[in-house]
Chains A and B, each alone.
Chain A
Amino acid sequence: MRINIYKILLAVTLGSTALSGCEKWDEHNTVNDASLKKDLMAQISADGSLSKFAELLTKSGYDKVLSSSRTFTVFAPTNDALASLDAAIVNDTAKLNRFIANHIAAQTFYTTSADTTLRIALLNGKYADLLDKKIENATITVADKQVKNGVLQVINQSMPVLSNAWETLETNAAIPAKQKAYMLSLFRNVFDATNAVKIGVDATTGLPIYQPGTDSVRTNIFWRNVYDLRNEQKKYSLFVLADGAWDAEIAKYKPYCNGSTADSTTLLTSWTVVKDLARDTVYRDAELPDTILSKFNVKVPVGKLNIVQTIKTSNGNIYVMSKADVKPSDKLKPYVIETENWRTMSAEKRGNMYIRDRVNTLTGKMFRDVLANGHGTALFNLGYRITDVYSTKYRAYWVAVNDVITNTFTQKVGIGEATATLLPYVNVAPNVYSEVYLGEFTLANYQSVLNIYLTAANSTSATANVLVCDYIRLEPVF
C-alpha cells in the first residue's frame, strides 16, 4: 500500500509538471505590439504627421483598400512632403488615384532586405527602386513599421507619377523633332493570329484564311526589333539626337544604305542610325560611360559633354544629345561565314563531303572545315546567306587548307550568284593554313539578304574541282 501511494505521488508530480510547463510558453508567444492590431489605414490616421496623406487616401477611396485584409507596403509622405503638392492633382480624381497608387505596393517590402536594389511593382502599374532607406529619390525616415495588413514606410518626399520612356518621347516638348518623327513613323501592321477570326482553309496550301482586319496588330518596329520602351518593368537609356546631329548621322550613313529609290535609302539610313541609340540599362549620372555598346554590339560615343538634357522617365532616362558620332567602322561589322554550315548544295553530293576537324599549324587551335572531294560536278557550289549587307566596298578572305591533294586547285567565292565574277578564282595551294586575300568588290545597293557561294572549278576532274574551306570573311573597307 505504501508503495502504491508513492507511485501515485510520482504520477501526480510528473503530470503536474507537464501541465504547468505550458503556461510560460503561452506568455512567450503572446502578441504584445499594439500596432499589429491596427490596419494600415488606422495606423496612418493615428499618426498626426501623416494627416494630409490620410486625407488624400480617404478622398481617393484608397482608405478602403488599406483597411482590407490584403497585404500592402505603403510609402507615406509626411505632411511637409505634401505641402507643395500641385492642386491639379488633388482636384482631378484620375490623377489623384494614380498619384496615391504610386505610393502603394501589393506585397510587403522591408528596407532590411533591400541591400541590393529591389524593383517594386506599384498599384498603378509603375515600378520603383528600393535600396536601403531610399525609394527612388525619397528617403525613408520611419522604416519597416509592421501592422496587421502590411508595412508602413514614412518618406520625406512624395513620389510623382512619371511617364514611361515611350510616352515621354511622344509628349515631352524637349525631345528633338526629327528623330522623334522617324520613331513615331515606325508603326506597322504586323501579322498576329492571336485574335484573328478564321474564315476558311486554303485548298492548296492547307493554311488557315483569316478575316481581313483581324489578323494583324499595329505595333512599332522599334518596340519589336530594338526595345519596347513602354515596358515598365525594365529600364532603358534612350538617346535622342538633336536635329543637326541627326542630319549629320543620316548624311554619313546614306552611302552605306543605298536603296532602289531615294525614299527607301532614307528609310534604311534612318533605321541604321536609330537602331543603336538605345540600351536596356540605366546609368546613374556619375556612372554613364563615354561609350555604350548597343543591342547590336555597336559602340556609341555618348560623352557627357554632348548631353543637352537628361529626362527622367518611369522606366529609365532619355538623353537629348547634341552629338553621337558613331563610326562606320564600328557600325559595319565584318561577316564571317563558317563554311561547314552550308544552306544549299548545287547537287546532292553529301556523300562526297566531309566535315573535318583540323589543327591549324599556325595558331595551334582546332578548327572545323568542309571538304568536297570527288563529286564529279563542274561548278559544284555550296550556298550561304548573310543579312543586312551595307552598300560599300568589301575585301574577301578565306582559310582553305588543302591537305587533300598534292596539286594546287582553284575555287572562288560567288557574291549573289554562284558564278558571279565579282571575285576571281583563287589558287588553293597544298597546306596553307593562313588567311588568303581573295580580292575586293563593291556592292552598289544595300541588301537585306545576300547569297554567298563557295564555287568549285568548272571541271569534272577530281584533282581540279575540290572544294575546301574553313571560313570566308568579308571585311568592309572604309
Chain B
Amino acid sequence: MKKISIKIFLLAAAVSAGSVSCKKIFDVKPKTELDVSQMYRDVYDADAALIGLYGKFMLLSEQYIILNELRADMLEYTSNADENLRQISTHSATASNPYASPRPFYELIINCNDVLKNFDIMRKDNKLNETEYAHRYSDVGSLRSFLYLQLGIHFGEVPYVTSALETVDAIKDQKNFPRLSFDALLDTLIKFEEALPFKGEYPAGTNLNITVDGYPTAKWFINKRVLLGDLHLWKGNYNSAASWYREVMETGTTGTQNGSYYSMYKVGWDSNGDIDHYINYGRAGDASTLTLNSQWRFMFEQAMTTEGFRREWVWAIPFDNKFKPGNPFIKLFSPVGGQYLVKPSQDAIDRWNSEKQRPVTVAGTVSGLPYDARGQLTWREIGGQPVVMKYLYNYLNYLTNAPTNILQKDGKWFLFRQTHLHMRFAEAANRAGKHRLAWGFYNSGFAGAYPASGSNVTNFQNTLSEPYPFNFDGRNSGSTGVPYYRADWYRNIGIRARANLIDQAVPATDSLLNIESGLINETALENGFEGTRWPDLLRIALRRNDPAFLADKVYAKLQKDGVAEASAVRAKLMNKANWYLPFNF
C-alpha cells in the first residue's frame, strides 16, 4: 500500500514537471518547420530553399537603400532620423551602427553557400536533373555574387567565403578567411559568374516562372547577365560589359515582331501611356496637364503583371500585406503611416529644377518648362515636407496623398530597370570610344544620334559597320518610304526624349568625360532613390582616380541641407581610404 502511494505521488510530480518542460524531454520534430533530414529531397524542396533565400534577401532592402542612397548625394536624413542614419549620411558610422554592418550580408551568403552545397549533393544523388541543377545553382550563385559586389562597393576589402559555415562568426577569423581587395574580388566574381552553366531567366512554364498572389515570379530573381555586365563595368572591361548588357537589351527581340519585340528593354515607344512611361502633358506646354494616372509616374505603381511593368523592369521584388517580410520603405519614406526618416536632399531637388523641357511648337515660340518633371513625380511635398514618392505609390493615393488602407503597406523593392541598363551600356560604349552611340542612348535615341536626311535610310539610323555589341539597326523608312522598312531598334527614343527634356549639349573637345558625367547625372534624374547612386559615383571616382568627383557631390548635399560637418566630410572623402566603411563584424 505504502509503495503504491509513493508511486502515485511520483507520477503526479512527473506529470506536473512534464507540463512545464516537455519539449526538452521528448525530441519531437516541429510541425511547422522542416528538419534538416526532411529538406532537399526533390526539386520542389530545392525551389523552397531558393525562395527562402530571396525572402531573406528582402530583409536587406532597407540597408541596401540606406547604404546606396544615404551615403550619396540625393537622399538626406530628416529631423526624425536617429543617430545611425545621421552617421551614414555624414560618413562617420561607428562600429555599433547596424546600417554599416556587413553581418546581414554574410548571414545570407552563408545561407547561399549551404544551399549550393546541398544542390551539389542533390545533383550527385540525382535528385535534381542537369537542367534543374544548372538553373538553380546559377541563380543562387549569382545572388551571392551580387551580395559580394555590394560588400565590395561599401566595405572595399572583404573576406570571400564560399563554404557552408555553421555560424557567421567564423568569418571573424582573418587567418581562415583572408580579405580580398575590391579589385581582386571583382576578378574572383567574374571568374565564378562566367563559369556558371546557365545565364538566362527561368523559362516560361517552369516551377520558378509562375504567378503567385498576382505577382509574376520572373522579375524576382537576379538577372545574371546584368550582374556580369556590372562586374565587367566595375573592372573596366568595357567590351565585355557592353556585350552582356546588349544581350539583356535584346531580351524582347524574339518571335513575332510586335510591341514587345520593339520596345521591351529597348526604351521604345508603344503609343500606350501605361507602357511608354513618358513625361507627358495632356496639352503640351500646359504645366497643369502633366499626366499622372499613366505614363512615367505609373511605372512605379502599376501591377507587376502588366505589360508596362514587364517591359520596363528587369528586377523588382514585391512587398505585400498578404506575405512577409513587411515593407520597410513606408517606415523610411512616408510621413503617413511611417516614420519619415529620410527625404530628398535639396541638392537632388535642385538637380531636377535645373533642367529644361523641350520647347512647345504648337503655341508659337513657347519655350519649355524650366524643370525636369520627373522630379515632381519622384518626390512631392506632403504637409510641407519633401517626401520620396517612388516607393509609396502602392500605399498612398497619388491624388490625395492618403493611404487606401493605412495598415496595408504594399510596395516594391526596385532593383534594376531598362534605363539603368541603357545608361550602363552607354557608359561602357563611351569608354570603348563609341561616344555618339552613348550620347544617343540617353538623349534622343538612335534617330536623334544618327538622323536620316530623307526617307532613304540605307546608310542612316544604324551602326551596322561597328563590331558587336555596338552594331545597332534603328532604321525606319517612314510611312511613305519605299521599301517600307522597320529595323529592330527603330522605336528606341532615348531617355531624355522620353522624359521630354532637351538633349545634353556636348562640346567636341572632351566628349568622353562630358558624356560620362552626363550619364551619371541622367541616372540621378531618371533612377533617383532606386539604390544605385553611391555605386555610380564611386565607380566613376575610382575610374577617373578623382576623389573630388565623389566628395564635392556629397559636400553639396550636406552643405545645402545645412549639415555642419559638410566641410569635414568633404575632406574625409578626398582620401580614398574613407570611401569604404570600416569592416566591423
Contacts and interface: CB of A to CB of B under 8 A. Distances in A.
B353 A366 contact: yes
Given A8-B9, A356-B369, A368 B363 contact: no
A356 B366 contact: yes
Contacts of B364: 373-374, 404-405, 462
B328 interface: no
Nearest to A351: B283
A155 interface: no
Interface in A1-48: 4, 7-8, 11
Contacts of B353: 366
B13 A403 contact: no
Contact of B366 (A4, A351, A371, A406): A371
A363 to B, nearest CB: 13
A450 interface: no
B370 A7 contact: no
B39 interface: no
B286 A354 contact: yes
A310 to B, nearest CB: 38
Given A359-B370, A404-B363, A404-B364, A368 B10 contact: no
Interface in A340-397: 340, 351-359, 366, 368, 371, 373-374
B287 A355 contact: yes
Interface residues on A, range: 20 to 34
B285 A354 contact: yes
Interface in B355-384: 360, 363-367, 369-371
B282 to A, nearest CB: 11
B366 A8 contact: no
Nearest to A10: B13
B335 to A, nearest CB: 24
A403 B367 contact: yes
A332 to B, nearest CB: 30
B80 interface: no
Contacts of A405: 364-365
A4 B365 contact: no
Given A7-B10, A359-B370, A366-B370, A404 B365 contact: yes
Contact of A4 (B10, B288, B370): B10
B577 interface: no
B285 A356 contact: yes
B13 A7 contact: yes
B6 interface: yes
A10 to B, nearest CB: 9
A394 to B, nearest CB: 30
B283 A354 contact: yes
Contacts of B369: 356-358
Nearest to B284: A354
B3 to A, nearest CB: 9
B13 A11 contact: yes
A406 B287 CA distance: 22
Interface string B176-204: 00000000000000000000000000000
Contacts of A404: 363-366
Contacts of B285: 354, 356, 371
Nearest to B353: A366
Contacts of A359: 370
A340 B288 CA distance: 10
Contacts of A374: 363-364
A354 B363 CA distance: 9
B283 A357 contact: no
A8 B6 contact: yes
B546 to A, nearest CB: 31
A353 B365 CA distance: 14
A336 to B, nearest CB: 20
Nearest to B360: A354
A403 B363 CA distance: 11
A374 B364 CA distance: 9
B6 A355 contact: no
Nearest to A372: B363
Interface in B199-229: none
A408 to B, nearest CB: 15
B222 to A, nearest CB: 40
A352 B284 CA distance: 11
A351 B282 CA distance: 10
A371 B370 contact: no
Nearest to A462: B364
Interface of B: 6, 9-10, 13, 283, 285-289, 353, 360, 363-367, 369-371
9 contacts: A8-B6, A8-B13, A11-B9, A11-B13, A340-B288, A354-B285, A356-B366, A366-B353, A374-B363
Given A4-B10, A355-B288, A406-B365, 5 more contacts: A11-B13, A351-B283, A371-B285, A404-B365, A405-B365
10 A-B pairs with least C-beta separation: A355-B288, A354-B286, A11-B13, A359-B370, A357-B287, A354-B285, A357-B369, A373-B363, A355-B287, A355-B286
